[in-house]
Chain A
Amino acid sequence: MSTKPPPEHAAPPPELTPSRVRFWMVCALILALALPLQLSVDAGLFPDVLNPYYLHLLTIIGMNIILVASLNLLNGYLGEFALGHAGFMAVGAYTAALLATKALPSAAALPPVLGTCIILVVTLGGAMLMAAGIGYLIGLVTFKTVGDYLAIITLGFNMIIVNAIQNLDFVGGPRGFTGIPKNTNFLAVAVCALLTLGLLRNLIQSSFGRVWVSIRENAIAAELMGVSIAKAKNWAFTIAAAFAGLAGGLWAQNQQFITPRSFDYIKTTEILVMLYLGGMASLSGSILGVVAYTLLMELLRNLLSAFAPQLAEWRMLISPLILIIIMLTRQTGLLGNREWRWLRPRQGA
């Protein structure tokens, strides 16, 4: 599987006009829609139109965007083929679950909105730190490994993490972790997803991002330009793992129940499918890939269960099929190597 899409979009970007859509404008728009939406659904307004199911879908999309965008840092920009993203997510999910149930008071004991915010900052911060630590370790261990070997090692780490959790009784072992308070909602996920996209965009469009892409393009040349490959790679792994941990922390406090099996390589594969569907080295692609995949899966679920309920699980067949079709027909994905304007840097500053 090649991580370098063919140079299909060689045309220089058009000159940018001053009145362009900016990142903060998109954030403001999304939050301006998300806040009333969340409040209306919470209050049970217009139950026919604003089905909580839609909000649930949007929440899933938000968490998946965090996962896919952060994996894009490794597989798209750095040009590695990491296969253990669900493992970092598991670390984040269990850390957040432990913090929320064992270390922190329940949200009811704290002032209403502020209390939830504090709980979220602590649990998600803990999840990110813990996952970042594990990511740093994996980066340290694999610093000389590339290509197939790195893929196998990261896959192995994913399995180790899942199996370790299965054997830890104080987090429920194979039965799963139950009774996690529901501290997140769509609004919190939206804020986190926008924050992730913003921070990743900033890093990618800085000297750090240029160094990561240069390693993908020609590691030997990058090294002889004075880049410490080990250090640059380690930063990328740490950062990607931290955001996967963030998604895990949100996941745990949204689903309220997690089992080790929900973070095995099947989840990693799902993240990969969304990443490749959207396209490598493109945050816009990550967003589009997640939205397209999630909606397609839900549509298939509804269609199949409406016509033939016994076929509903067959939709899981579709996801690997999509991956095969992308790899055969359009290796750049929907938006490989291209960015929407609001995610592009300001030129000529």
Chain B
Amino acid sequence: MGLRITDLTKSFGGLTAVDGFNLELGDRDLQGIIGPNGAGKTTVFNLITGVYAPDRGQIQLGEHTVSGLPSDAIARAGIARTFQNIRLFAQMTVLDNITMALHARAGYGLWEAAFRTGNFHRQEARLLAESREHLARFGLLERQREQAGSLPYGEQRRLEIARALATGPKVLLLDEPAAGMNPREVEELIQLIQQVHRDFSLAILLIEHQLPVVMELCREVQVLDFGQTIASGAPQEVVRNPLVIEAYLGEEEAPA
């Protein structure tokens, strides 16, 4: 079992943002969470990654309980994520964005770095080679010396996914990866996520506002509305569910 979430609940003041959320995400699963704006989707991600502490409920990664741990410990345990509003290290180079993500596996200490020991040079060469290989896989190698903030939008998204994967996660959380993309970029993104799912041994949980993305990628989705799961199952069935249609009514993007 990759990620198991039981009865996850979080309130802000009087508002219950997430109410009794459950999830079973297998080792190689690709699942989606959909729902109208303000349904609590991103809050679920923030709870999983420790940005907020849950009021109730448990999050388990494999055998370990990660709920209650600080964000950096959860990340090191193997949960990586991207953000709805891209959070790259804008003034670092594309290459450094990836090499930075390998910090936990740097293989040298402070003194070795300060005095540039033989081990430091060996490990740095390894980190550099690994980062370049990783960039090449995502078609960003020729951009390696550019500042991350100067990349076009679609490539920034790709770099953010590449950076998350560089940490070697067991679970990848993608927060609205198709937000702000044109149809051609969305098509590329779908292929990219399929490729990642095929090539990396990990589970993917996807938040998406655009239904076509979820329909094409996921075999199972949950629909959130006002913090509660109102439907779950195969995407084609879920969008015919009357509750879901009602939740989306009045939204500009009604399910097809």
Binding site for B on A (CB under 8 A): 4, 7, 10, 12-13, 199, 202-203, 206-208, 210-211, 213-214, 217-218, 220-229, 235, 337, 349
Given contact pairs A217-B91, A224-B71, A210 touches B149 in the complex (Cβ within 8 A): no
Stretch from B14-22, B52-60, B98-106, B239-247 contacting the other chain:
B98-106
User: How far is it, in angstroms, between the C-alpha of A13 and the C-alpha of B144 when the chains are bound?
Assistant: 11
A-facing residues in B106-145 (Cβ within 8 Å): 106, 108, 110, 113-116, 120-121, 124-125, 127-128, 145
Closest 5 CB pairs of A and B: A12-B145, A206-B113, A217-B89, A226-B75, A207-B106
**Contact between chains at B87 and A349 (CB < 8 Å):** no
The answer, yes or no, to whether B76 is at the interface (CB within 8 Å) is yes
Partner of A223, one of B75, B88, B164: B75
The answer, yes or no, to whether B96 is at the interface (CB within 8 Å) is yes
User: How far is it, in angstroms, between the C-alpha of A229 and the C-alpha of B72 when the chains are bound?
Assistant: 8
**Contact between chains at A217 and B146 (CB < 8 Å):** no
Residues of A near B114 (CB, < 8 A) are 199, 202-203
The answer, yes or no, to whether B90 is at the interface (CB within 8 Å) is yes
**Contact between chains at A211 and B76 (CB < 8 Å):** no
* Closest chain B residue to A15, Cβ basis: B145
**Contact between chains at A7 and B113 (CB < 8 Å):** no
User: How far is it, in angstroms, between the C-alpha of A7 and the C-alpha of B146 when the chains are bound?
Assistant: 11
Residues of A near B128 (CB, < 8 A) are 349
**Contact between chains at A7 and B88 (CB < 8 Å):** no
**Contact between chains at A214 and B127 (CB < 8 Å):** no
User: How far is it, in angstroms, between the C-alpha of A220 and the C-alpha of B101 when the chains are bound?
Assistant: 13
Chain A's nearest CB lies how many Å from the CB of B64? 15
Residues of A near B87 (CB, < 8 A) are 218, 220-221
Residues of A near B102 (CB, < 8 A) are 207
Chain A's nearest CB lies how many Å from the CB of B20? 25
- Interface residues on chain B, number (Cβ under 8 Å): 45
User: How far is it, in angstroms, between the C-alpha of A49 and the C-alpha of B149 when the chains are bound?
Assistant: 52
Given contact pairs A202-B115, A225-B100, A225-B101, A217 touches B76 in the complex (Cβ within 8 A): no
Chain B's nearest CB lies how many Å from the CB of A105? 31
**Contact between chains at A202 and B104 (CB < 8 Å):** no
Given contacts A4-B91, A10-B149, A225-B101, 13 further A-B contacts (CB under 8 A): A206-B108, A207-B100, A207-B102, A208-B113, A210-B100, A213-B91, A214-B100, A218-B88, A223-B71, A225-B100, A226-B76, A228-B70, A229-B72
* Closest chain A residue to B121, Cβ basis: A349
User: How far is it, in angstroms, between the C-alpha of A13 and the C-alpha of B147 when the chains are bound?
Assistant: 11
Report which residue of B75, B90, B115 has the largest number of chain A beta carbons within 10 angstroms of its beta carbon.
B75
User: How far is it, in angstroms, between the C-alpha of A225 and the C-alpha of B80 when the chains are bound?
Assistant: 7
User: How far is it, in angstroms, between the C-alpha of A247 and the C-alpha of B185 when the chains are bound?
Assistant: 54
Report which residue of A13, A199, A223 has the largest number of chain B beta carbons within 10 angstroms of its beta carbon.
A223
The answer, yes or no, to whether B92 is at the interface (CB within 8 Å) is yes
**Contact between chains at A218 and B89 (CB < 8 Å):** yes
Residues of A near B83 (CB, < 8 A) are 221
User: How far is it, in angstroms, between the C-alpha of A49 and the C-alpha of B115 when the chains are bound?
Assistant: 38
The answer, yes or no, to whether B163 is at the interface (CB within 8 Å) is yes
Chain A's nearest CB lies how many Å from the CB of B72? 5
The answer, yes or no, to whether B9 is at the interface (CB within 8 Å) is no
Report which residue of B92, B100, B108, B125 has the largest number of chain A beta carbons within 10 angstroms of its beta carbon.
B100
Residues of B near A207 (CB, < 8 A) are 99-100, 102-103, 106, 108, 113, 127
The answer, yes or no, to whether B81 is at the interface (CB within 8 Å) is yes
**Contact between chains at A13 and B145 (CB < 8 Å):** yes
The answer, yes or no, to whether B49 is at the interface (CB within 8 Å) is yes
The answer, yes or no, to whether B150 is at the interface (CB within 8 Å) is yes
Residues of B near A210 (CB, < 8 A) are 92, 96, 99-100, 103
User: How far is it, in angstroms, between the C-alpha of A152 and the C-alpha of B96 when the chains are bound?
Assistant: 32
User: How far is it, in angstroms, between the C-alpha of A10 and the C-alpha of B94 when the chains are bound?
Assistant: 12
